[in-house]
């Protein structure tokens, strides 16, 4: 019995733009599976279609993976035993395989010019180069052998196409969908090698998965229609026994479940669908990303993992290590997963709550800096953060929730308190101001106890004097426990704000 091959998976994006949620989830599932199996995760850049190549896209993909913490074991940037990992740099490897297919009768040369093909497209709606019309077109199946030799000898531009068999049913076992089969008559004769000598995706993906010893090939459901071509190539090249196990991941759907989530849905509904901001170098158009919106990578990954996968329990919060330990392909659902932005925000909120302060501090400092608060004292900032951490959906919210710790309120939400104001309340505050100024145990419990006793001895009601104090310190009806706020602000600042707040109420 042969020893089991080490698991090797690959993420094989074409560098055509920013990474959509679905793309990052494909990376994630590949990564989780590889790490769960003690295997290797390869990043291969599929850049053979030079017309779709977008400068900057590869760097963007690398930064996305780095941000998400999904670091490939082998990649164009850090190399590996099967380098190069950029298909354009492997160009010379593919022609021999395409020629071998021609020799063995599985492929043929096609000399049709782009203009001739365009004319066919104009003439025949949904024109497909296939067994139905290949003998009427200009290729090595329809032309005389001597003519073909001549055309090749004088270097007439040509492509190599697969010769799809007629009337065969071929299939494979998808790890998510089970048996999947195709009628070969319905598939067109795809180009394998282009006139410029570059392979198409179909040939390159098979050759590279073979040469890079990929054991499992996971990709989005949109690649399923290409599977019959790939299946035949594995067979025709004589590599059938090495073919990876395949799984096609279900789509990520629009929030209403009506079709695949697209970039346009994000614009329309006001949420990002890319991992990070992406600026199209041609148009200058910016597509917003989760990172820039203030998502923590842990939350982003966690949210993505649960789009189409669960561990069979109700657990929703998972660290990357937990995901690695629990991941299995058979718990991926066959049905598409609806994207829910509110749920995505919930994950971020939960992850902010769970994050260590040291981790959040630099981000919080950046938010403060944007608002002109430079170099806050670390210890103070950390205590503020501890108080408001569980109120943040995004790190940006820190300013809304905690700005009053750094700058005194200028606007007061007086509506609710002014109506019920009385001379007794004014007297109460005038009475406690000097007492607070010399209050010794400036800490939460002592302050709370003192304040409540002072209310009771003044004959007023407890409930009536809590909100005014909050408004004086904060400006509005929000924030953590009011005596925690006073404790952190300190004696002097608290007294100052009570005086200023009282004046505002009385105007």
**Could you tell me if 15 and 45 are in contact, meaning their C-beta atoms sit under 8 angstroms apart?**
yes
- Within 338-414, where are the H helices? 341-354, 357-370, 378-388, 397-402
For ligand GLU, the closer CB: 15 or 475: 15
Question: Which x/- pattern, by CB under 6 A, does the window 9-38 give for ligand GLU?
Answer: ---xxx------------------------
Q: Smallest distance from the beta carbon of 142 to ligand GLU, in angstroms?
A: 31
**Could you tell me if 108 and 160 are in contact, meaning their C-beta atoms sit under 8 angstroms apart?**
yes
- Applying CB under 6 A, which of residues 40, 46, 58, 189 lies at the interface with ligand GLU? 46
- Applying CB under 6 A, which of residues 205, 293, 301, 381 lies at the interface with ligand GLU? 205
Of the residues 35, 263, 288, 345, only one is catalytic, namely 263
Helix (H, G, I), strand (E, B) or coil at 184: helix
**Residue written as token pair 């939400």:** 413
For ligand GLU, the closer CB: 172 or 223: 223
Q: Smallest distance from the beta carbon of 46 to ligand GLU, in angstroms?
A: 4
Question: Which x/- pattern, by CB under 6 A, does the window 216-255 give for ligand GLU?
Answer: ---x---x--------------------------------
* Tokens encoding 457: 């001895």
- Binding to ligand GLU (CB under 6 A) within 313-332 occurs at none
Q: What's the chain's Rg over C-alpha atoms?
A: 32
Q: What is the 3-state secondary structure (H, E, C) of 442-482?
A: CCHHHHHHHHHHHHHHHCCCHHHHHHHHHHHHHCCCCCCCH
The stretch near ligand GLU (CB under 6 A) out of 7-15, 103-111, 124-132, 249-257 is 7-15
Burial class of residue 68 in the structure, from the number of CB atoms within 10 Å of its CB (0-12 exposed, 13-18 middle, 19+ buried): buried
Question: Which x/- pattern, by CB under 6 A, does the window 145-184 give for ligand GLU?
Answer: ----------------------------------------
For ligand GLU, the closer CB: 219 or 288: 219
The stretch near ligand GLU (CB under 6 A) out of 8-16, 232-240, 400-408, 418-426 is 8-16
CA distances from 64 to 112, 314, 415 (A): 41, 29, 47
For ligand GLU, the closer CB: 138 or 216: 216
Taking phi over 0 as left and psi of -120 to 50 as alpha, with beta for the rest, 197 belongs to: left
**Residue written as token pair 């070969």:** 184
For ligand GLU, the closer CB: 49 or 397: 49
For ligand GLU, the closer CB: 223 or 234: 223
**Could you tell me if 435 and 447 are in contact, meaning their C-beta atoms sit under 8 angstroms apart?**
no
Q: Smallest distance from the beta carbon of 283 to ligand GLU, in angstroms?
A: 21
For ligand GLU, the closer CB: 65 or 482: 65
Helix (H, G, I), strand (E, B) or coil at 290: helix
Helix (H, G, I), strand (E, B) or coil at 430: helix
- Within 198-262, where are the H helices? 201-211, 227-236
The stretch near ligand GLU (CB under 6 A) out of 6-14, 137-145, 374-382, 478-486 is 6-14
For ligand GLU, the closer CB: 43 or 160: 43
Q: Smallest distance from the beta carbon of 26 to ligand GLU, in angstroms?
A: 8
Does the protein bind ligand GLU through residue 486 (CB under 6 A)? no
CB-hemisphere CA count at 13 Å for 56?
Answer: 9
The answer to whether the Cα torsion of 94, 230, 161, 169 is positive or negative is positive
Q: Smallest distance from the beta carbon of 12 to ligand GLU, in angstroms?
A: 4
Residue in 227, 214, 213, 240 with CA at minimum distance from that of residue 174? 227
* Tokens encoding 466: 């809590």
Q: Does the annotation mark 163 as catalytic?
A: no
* Tokens encoding 205: 């993906």
Number of residues that bind ligand GLU (CB under 6 A): 8
Residue 1 CA to its chain's centroid (Å): 41
Q: Smallest distance from the beta carbon of 14 to ligand GLU, in angstroms?
A: 4
How far apart are alpha carbons 358 and 233 in whole angstroms?
53
Q: Smallest distance from the beta carbon of 375 to ligand GLU, in angstroms?
A: 46
- Applying CB under 6 A, which of residues 31, 33, 41, 201 lies at the interface with ligand GLU? 201
Helix (H, G, I), strand (E, B) or coil at 326: helix
- Binding to ligand GLU (CB under 6 A) within 375-434 occurs at none
Residues that bind ligand GLU (CB under 6 A): 12-14, 46, 201, 205, 219, 223
- Catalytic site positions: 263
């Amino acid at each position: 019995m042969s020893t089991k091959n080490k698991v090797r998976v690959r993420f094989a994006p074409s560098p055509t733009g920013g990474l959509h949620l679905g793309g990052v989830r494909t990376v994630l599932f590949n990564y989780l599976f590889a790490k769960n199996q003690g295997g290797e995760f390869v990043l291969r850049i599929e850049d053979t279609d030079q017309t779709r190549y977008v400068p900057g896209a590869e760097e963007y993909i690398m930064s996305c993976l780095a941000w998400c913490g999904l670091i490939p074991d082998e990649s164009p940037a850090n190399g590996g035993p099967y380098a190069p990992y950029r298909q354009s740099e492997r160009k010379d490897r593919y022609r021999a395989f395409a020629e071998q297919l021609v020799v063995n009768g599985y492929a043929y040369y096609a000399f049709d010019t782009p203009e001739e093909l365009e004319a066919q497209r104009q003439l025949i709606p949904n024109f497909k180069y296939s067994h139905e019309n290949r003998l009427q077109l200009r290729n090595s199946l329809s032309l005389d052998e001597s003519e073909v030799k001549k055309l090749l000898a004088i270097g007439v531009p040509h492509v190599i196409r697969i010769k799809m068999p007629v009337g065969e049913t071929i299939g494979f076992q998808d790890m998510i969908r089970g048996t999947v089969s195709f009628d070969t008559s319905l598939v067109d004769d795809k180009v394998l090698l282009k006139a410029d000598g570059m392979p198409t995706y179909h040939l390159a993906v098979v050759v590279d998965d073979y040469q890079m010893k990929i054991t499992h090939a996971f990709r989005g459901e949109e690649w399923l229609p290409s599977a019959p071509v790939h299946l035949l190539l594995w067979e025709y090249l004589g590599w059938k026994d090495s073919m990876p196990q395949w799984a096609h991941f279900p789509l990520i759907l629009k929030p209403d479940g009506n079709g695949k989530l697209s970039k346009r849905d994000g614009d329309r509904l006001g949420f990002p669908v890319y991992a990070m901001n992406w600026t199209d170098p041609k148009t200058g158009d910016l597509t917003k990303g989760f990172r820039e919106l203030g998502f923590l990578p842990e939350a982003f990954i966690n949210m993505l993992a649960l789009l189409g996968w669960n561990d069979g329990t109700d657990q929703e919060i998972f660290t990357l290590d937990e995901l690695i330990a629990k991941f299995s392909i058979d718990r991926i659902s066959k049905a598409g997963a609806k994207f829910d932005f509110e749920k995505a925000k919930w994950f971020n909120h939960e992850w902010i709550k769970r994050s260590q302060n040291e981790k959040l501090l630099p981000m919080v400092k950046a938010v403060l800096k944007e608002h002109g608060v430079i170099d806050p004292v670390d210890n103070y900032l950390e205590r503020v953060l501890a108080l408001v951490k569980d109120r943040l959906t995004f790190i940006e919210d820190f300013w809304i929730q905690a700005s009053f710790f750094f700058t005194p309120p200028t606007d007061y939400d007086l509506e609710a308190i002014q109506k019920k104001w009385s001379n007794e309340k004014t007297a109460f505050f005038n009475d406690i101001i000097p007492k607070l100024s010399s209050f010794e145990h400036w800490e939460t419990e002592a302050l709370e106890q003192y304040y409540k006793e002072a209310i009771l001895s003044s004959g007023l009601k407890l409930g009536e004097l809590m909100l005014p104090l909050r408004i004086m310190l904060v400006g509005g009806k929000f924030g953590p426990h009011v005596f925690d706020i006073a404790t952190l602000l300190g004696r002097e600042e608290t007294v100052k704000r009570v005086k200023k707040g009282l004046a505002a109420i009385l105007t």
